[in-house]
Structure 1
C-alpha cells in the first residue's frame, strides 16, 4: 500500500518519512551485516582458514583431505603434509588478521583489505613451498 501510493505519486510527508526510515533501517542493517560481517572477505577467509586448520589438527591428520596445499613435496609424507598445511593456513590467518586489524583501525578500506587477504593466500602458498624446499635442502646437507 505504501509503495503503491509512492509509485502513483501520492507522496505525502508521512509516507516519505516511513519509506526513508525503512530504507535507512535496511541500509544500516546491510552495512552492519553485509558490509562488515558476512561479505567482508577478509573475515570470511580468516574464518575458513581457522576452520580448515582445526580440521587438520583435530579430525584429519592423514593425506586424504580433498582441500589444502597439495604438491609433490607436501604429499611425500604425513609429517610434511601436516607441516605444509600448518604453514599454509597459519600464513593465511596471520595475513587476514593483519588485514582485518588495519581495516578496523581505519587505516585501509574494505577493498584494500580484501585484496590483501586474497593476495595473502598466494603469498602463503609461496612461503609454504619455500619452507618445504629449504627443509629438504637442510636435511640433505646434514646427511
Structure 2
C-alpha cells in the first residue's frame, strides 16, 4: 500500500474532524485544530488515494516536542500509518532542534501505548483526571522519548 505524507493546512480540517469523530470518544473540534495552526504548530497527514487516513499534530519549542494529537482512520489502524506519522514527526522535531518528545495518552488506550513504546517512548508519570469520559474523567499516562 502506498501512502503519501502531506503537510497539513487549514483546508484539511474537515478531513481531520472526520477521522477525529470516527476514532475518539471526545474528539477535537475544528476550533481546536484552527488554534493549533494559528499558533504555528506542525501537522502532517497521511493520504491514500487523495483521502486522509491519519494525521499528527505537534508543538515545538525550547528543545522539546509535544505530540498533541495522533489519529488514524479505523480502516487503516494496525497497518503502520500511526507508526510512520509518529516517526516522521520525531524526525521533524529533531531537525528543528528538539531533544525530547513527550505526550499524554489515555491510560486505557493500550494500542496507542504499545505504539509509543515501540518507538522508544517510556512512561514518566500520570496526570490524574486529565481526560473527560462519559462518566467523569480518566487519567493520562505521560510518556517521553529522547531524540
| TM-score tier after normalising by the smaller chain length | under 0.3
TM-score calculated relative to the size of structure 1: 0.24
Higher relative contact order (Cα pairs below 8 Å, separated by 6+ residues): 1
- Which has the larger share of helix? 1
- Which has the larger share of strand? 2
